Amino acid sequence: MNELKQIRTALISVFYKENLDKIVRELQRLNVQIYSTGGTLNFINELGVSATAVEELTSYPSILGGRVKTLHPKIFGGILARRDNENDLFQLQEYQIPEIDLVIVDLYPFEETVASGAKETEIIEKIDIGGVSLIRAAAKNFKNVAIIASRNQYDDLLELLESKNGVTGIDDRRKFATDAFNTTSNYDVAIFNYFSGDFPKPAFKQSIQEIKTLRYGENPHQKGVFYGSFDNLFDQIHGKEISYNNLLDIDAAVNLIAEFTESTIAILKHNNACGLASRSTLAQAWHDALAGDPVSAFGGVIIANRVIDPKTASEMNTLFFEVVIAPGYHSEALSTLASKKNRIILLQKDINLPKYQYRSLLSGALVQERDSSTEAEKNMKPITAKTPSKEELSDLVFANKIVKHSKSNAIVFAKNQQLIASGVGQTSRVDALKHAIEKAIGFGFDLKGAVMASDAFFPFPDCVEIADKAGITAVVQPGGSVNDQKSIDYCNEHGMAMVSTGIRHFKH
Active site (catalytic) residues: 140, 270
Separation CA 456–CA 504 (nearest Å): 5
Separation CA 472–CA 454 (nearest Å): 13
3 state SS for 289-306? HHHHCCCCCCCCEEEECC
Separation CA 277–CA 287 (nearest Å): 8
What is the number of other CB atoms lying within 10 angstroms of the CB of residue 132?
A: 20
Q: Is the dihedral of CA 361, 362, 367, 373 positive or negative?
A: negative
Spell out the long-range contacts of 355-361 with Cβ–Cβ below 8 A and sequence spacing 24 or more: 356/199, 358/206
Nearest CA-CA partner of 131 in 111, 96, 105: 105
SS3 72: coil
Nearest CA-CA partner of 273 in 472, 425, 380: 425
Residues 6 or more apart whose CB falls under 8 angstroms from that of 242 comprise: 214, 230, 236, 250, 323, 344
Separation CA 16–CA 45 (nearest Å): 16
